Amino acid sequence: MIEVNQFGEVIQIKMSREFEGKPLYWVAAYLVDGLLIDTGCKHAAEELVKFLEGQNLKFAVNTHYHEDHIGANYLLKQKFGIEIFAPRESIPLINQIPKLYPYQKMVWGYPEPTEVDCLPEKIETGRFHFDVVETPGHCNGHVALIEPEKGWCFSGDLFISEKPRVIRPEEDIAGITRSMKKLIALRTDRLILFTSMGDVVQDGRKALRTCIEYFQDLSRRAKQLEKKGLSVVAIRDEIFGRESSLAGLTDGQFSTENLVRAALRA
């Protein structure tokens, strides 16, 4: 299923697999002046392609290689013959069958391997230009696209919420914090975050600062408790009360324990 929203000159396309008439998990792509930023999940790929007919689609960019951001790549190239660009580190991963956990297969589906081109430092459309900013932390090779005149920041999965309670085991909150600081320091009058979850955050700098402060405080508290001899699980329960229900649903891939471990590494 898809849901389309308009934010000025930006079209947001939210996609999800449908279950009993409801979305399992929204993921958002954005269409701006012929540029599609991310291509969503495989389960919604055909609906996305159908929507894009007549939308003057010119090319697409993947902010990173995860399956919920590249799911329609193959169909888009097949249907429209467009170029798709991705960060250099992501290219070989997009052009192979990913190793997915059962929950990933169920929620997003397997994307077909697709040949994509290396993302340049700048992207030009007819009316806008976008700076490509490296923002690792969520994964290696993650990028954000910035339209400095408008203050638009298409942030991929760098920012999910101001106070996340779960992350994947490979995520690096020290790297995420550095990337967020890089976005805050951009020379733009404002910073509007267009997130992969579908949230559009008008005061992006404030949201990023709040998240950075949250990570810093969490790291400080976790390390204090570790010095007292508490285990990771005990630290988790002391700070958050219990493990998130997402841990069981995702084979431990999205968990509060992962967040605590990342805070201790930071």
Residue 19 has a CB neighbour count (10 Å cut-off) of 12
**pLDDT for 142:** 98
Tens digit of pLDDT for each residue in 75-128?
Answer: 999 999 999 999 999 999 999 999 999 999 999 999 999 999 999 999 999 999
Average pLDDT over residues 60-88: 98
pLDDT tier, 46 (very low <50, low <70, confident <90, very high otherwise): very high
The answer on pLDDT for 201 being more than 90 is yes
Q: Which residues make Cβ contacts (< 8 Å) with residue 190, sequence separation at least 6?
A: 151, 202, 203, 204, 205
Nearest partner of 29 among 81, 80, 79, 84, judged by Cα? 84
**Residue 71: pLDDT over 90:** yes
**CATH architecture, domain defined by 2-205:** 4-Layer Sandwich (3.60)
19 pLDDT above the threshold of 90: no
6, 24, 7, 244: which is closest to 15 by C-alpha? 24
pLDDT of 72 strictly over 90? yes
- Using an 8 Å Cβ cutoff, are 239 and 221 in contact? yes
For residue 106, what are its two tokens? 């169920």
- The answer to whether the CB of 65 falls within 8 A of the CB of 114 is no
Q: Which position has the token pair 């005149």?
A: 149
Mean pLDDT confidence for 193-201: 97
Nearest to 63 by CA among 136, 169, 166, 163: 136
Q: Exposed, middle or buried, 263 (CB in 10 Å: 0-12/13-18/19+)? A: buried
Residue 172: CB atoms within 10 Å: 18
pLDDT at res. 21: 87
Task: Write the pLDDT tens digit of every residue in 116-175.
Answer: 999 999 999 999 999 999 999 999 999 999 999 999 999 999 999 999 999 999 999 999
Check pLDDT > 90 for residue 237: yes
Amino acid 141: pLDDT: 95
Q: What percentage of the chain has pLDDT greater than the value 70? A: 100
Predicted TM-score (pTM) of the model is 0.96
Residue boundaries of the structural domains of the chain: 2-205
Q: Which residues neighbour 174 within 8 Å (Cβ) at sequence distance 6 or greater?
A: 137, 265, 266
